[in-house]
Structure 1
Amino acid sequence: MAPALPSPARIFSALETVVIGAAGGLLFLWADLPGGLISGAMVAVGIAALAGRPLAVPPVMTQSVLVLLGISLGSLASRQLIQHVSAYPVTIGLLALATFCSTFGSSFYLQRFHQWDRTSAFLAASPGALSQITILAAERGADVPAIAVVQTIRVIILTAALPLMLAVMGLATPSAPALVTTTASPLELAALIVASLAVSLLLRLVKFPASWMFGAMIASSVLHGTGYVEGGLPNWMRGAALVGIGALIGTRFARMRASTLLGHVTAGLGSFAIAIMISAIFVAMIYLTTHVRLADIIVAFAPGAMDAMLALALTLHIDPIFVGAHHLARFVFVTIATPGIVHLFGRPQDDVDD
């Protein structure tokens, strides 16, 4: 049987999301704001979604955006001298410890000051891996809407505020620099896309996390590193990927009631502040004891969504290898450790079944 075509309503919803996201991204880009395409698209789509517009990014568009983002990141890999590889085991170990400490710190805040149950508090405090956290929350009978609000607030703040903070600190330029000097030829672009899709599908078969993005990133890195491909994506294609990531984050508000959001804003802001303060201690520790750039450490340790943080690395000219390795490590750590933490420290399973 042929696959069913999307309904006109779904098509219109996707088009509306793209148009609103592009308008917001171009507005922020025109205002010369750091990470303008991502944060502008995210803010515009988020506001429209909260206003009641049924915005959505269909799966095929999401996968396309992630593949384009991976290709762009991979085209930088050969240009990065990977001078910090020797520091990876140390910094990834500290990242695991920072994730553990910030999760417990934020969950304590939610329990102590907002009277959350332990399971909901631990799941809301776990950075990244939102889809896995949501599934686990539903299985354990936790407060899924509250967890979604806290997780979303953290991602939104980081995506919008992190570029501004880095620019104010002088660690990133307001406008994204020219990352790739040349554009790949049509034949090279075809090779990039085919190889990226092949590796992504292979990783998807083995259930590798973020397979579409990392598969494309690996394929692009190999092709660029071996000299088979010299140029990168056209600027308009790279820009479309960044707008797409921002719009995707903004659509998280589409199924969220304004009353639900407002009811948990304080909890989200407070737990975010706790997580940032704890992460800052580890960032300072690494900066003072290694030769890794401060901007690279900040984005690598930022407790935000992996795709959004890697997109920011692309726009702010931050080492994508270092950032990608650390966000992937944290994703794996959270995915593996969170169920065990919830089982040991969360609400007993008997309480859930009552």
Structure 2
Amino acid sequence: MKITIIAGARPNFMKIAPIIHAIQRAKASGESIDFRLIHTGQHYDKKMSGDFFEQLGIPEPHANLEAGGGTQAEQTANIMIRFEQDLLANPANIVLVVGDVTSTMACAIVAQKLHVKVAHVEAGIRSGDWSMPEEINRLVTDSITNYFFTTSAVANRNLKLSGIEDERIFFVGNTMIDTLLKQMPRFTQPEVWKGLELKNKEYIVITLHRPANVDQDTQLKELIDTIVESSKGLPLVFPVHPRTAKMLQNIGIDAPNLHLIEPLGYLEFNYLVQNAKAVVTDSGGITEETTVMGVPCMTLRDNTERPETISIGTNELLGTNPKSIPPAFEKLFSNQWKKGGIPELWDGKTAERIVQQLLKMEV
């Protein structure tokens, strides 16, 4: 069995790393299985050097399609054109896509047009918010997927409600958590730890990147001002994209406990998260990681595609109204934040279950 694995952005590689390891183990034990790793180049990331792949313990991609840039439509078209050429030159039995980025959708379409079956890892998650490009990617991908690998019972239910048969849905768990649990012993203290004199559970991590939060001056200013006012002077560590950093400077936010730092690598960033008192974010993936690490998490979004991080984990959905922030911080500082638990099958063995299932498939 030949599997072409697609990754388009840095978080995708966190999700596919354990799948690659599981394929390598299966092949070493005599199973007829192999993979080809394609980086679509959807996102250029200067931190994705050889060291990045070495940290994850995976080979560098067999091909980089370098299809990034442009509008959503231009990017989708570039990925489709270049992936079609690659798949024609390197036939596969299955194309495996992960997550919900543009590459996920574009490569699924190409595979089906070439009559190659598609497996979607992290299938079935829904936010219900069609203003998010990711939601469109999820809907389109799952409408043409053959095999659905899911992270939760909620995702299973979403797929069944859309008419997907039970025999095509495989509840396997979360490969992002496979990577987290494997890498946790290797988390690395970033330089900023000593530079800011940070102490365990005595600082808060912020990550904001969604346009609704960072592209509007007044909204971003009000959010950050409210977080600063609610933080009781604790250090606020904000690994920030240069574009957002420039906007923060333009709107004149200058608080002694707010520290804007460069984006960090995976091992360094998760060291900060693991030791933080709390995380304030608008990222879906981080809510999964904080749930497993038992770190209180406040999500500044009006919806989430990962409701299990709220119903089971340590996450709370605050919405985008800054007025929701002070009560959440009061709850945090009064030690009333929920302890949370870990969702079913988020146990570090998801990739093994995926590969075992792939080996049973007739393709």
> TM-score when scaled to structure 1?
0.25
* Higher helix fraction (1 or 2): 1
* Higher strand fraction (1 or 2): 2
> TM-score when scaled to structure 2?
0.25
Larger RCO (alpha carbons 8 Å, 6+ apart): 1
